[in-house]
Structure 1
């Protein structure tokens, strides 16, 4: 079963982009698939990758074999392998990254340690990928809202007389 976020609804219909849940699977498996490579896979292969389980080491190994063989058949190439540090990003840190906090604040949300601790691993991963980059994703605000991250209280400004 794939975790579907509302901010990605259109993506799940067409599978023309790599859904966040698949990005997490790829990180855990240790493979990088570019957008053009993803689009080169047929819809059945993309759906299989979406729904493939990845909780155990054996499931990750099987998913990796499936992806490598599908890409070899379709493109004649193997996907790039991620470094151990890149693979580690599949398991987000216990505290929100400072840059993600700043980007969330800019979007009008208070992403603090308490809120972060209430998020599940998939939600943390999504916020890490969307908010901890130099330039945040255009979907960051929608994700923060979907994940019930509190909005920053607006302070009433005194009116000019």
Structure 2
């Protein structure tokens, strides 16, 4: 399994919004999950560009980073809304499982007629790539970027 130092990284499939950060990029979504914060898109939209970029750039890998990141997100949301964001009781982090390909990834691959992933391919993806496929594969997500990400990650 490849390890990933969590730093600023945007995927090509996010190109349509990274210039203005109107949507929450995967790197920020990963970091939010790491500190168990559910940030609403409406709250994200209230942040200025510099704050959004900083959320992508701040470290969030080690326990002290995760704690500091969570405090910073809470302070930003409070600043604009007078409320703290929701806390996730738990995070279903199936992207960290390298012994089994998550069902949502298999189902979304089938839905978009993408080739079935092998365990070797799944294990060789970087953590953030596996995270993106899981998030794009979840129900409730429109998923249009799933086949684009699949291709970007060299799986087609």
Provide TM-score, normalisation by structure 1.
0.85
CA contact under 8 A between 2:104 and 2:134: conserved in structure 1? Answer: no
Measured after TM superposition, the shift of residue 90 of structure 1 is 7.6
Spell out, residue by residue over 1:109-158, the C-alpha distance to the aligned partner (whole angstroms, 9 max, x if none): 222322111111000000001113266511001000000113xxxxxxxx
Cα root mean square deviation, aligned: 1.7
Unaligned runs of 5+ in 1: 151-161
> Aligned pairs, how many?
148
The separation in 1 between residues aligned to 2:94 and 2:79, in whole angstroms, is: 27
Q: Does 1:89 align with 2:113?
A: no
CA contact under 8 A between 1:92 and 1:128: conserved in structure 2? Answer: no
Q: Does 1:108 align with 2:117?
A: no
CA contact under 8 A between 1:27 and 1:90: conserved in structure 2? Answer: no
Larger Rg: 1
Aligned mate of 2:23, from 14, 17, 34: 17
SS in 1 for 2:96: coil
Taking the TM superposition and a 5 Å limit, the aligned residue runs for 1:61-140 are 61-84=67-90, 86=91, 88-89=92-93, 91-94=95-98, 95-110=100-115, 111-133=117-139, 137-140=143-146
CA contact under 8 A between 2:36 and 2:89: conserved in structure 1? Answer: yes
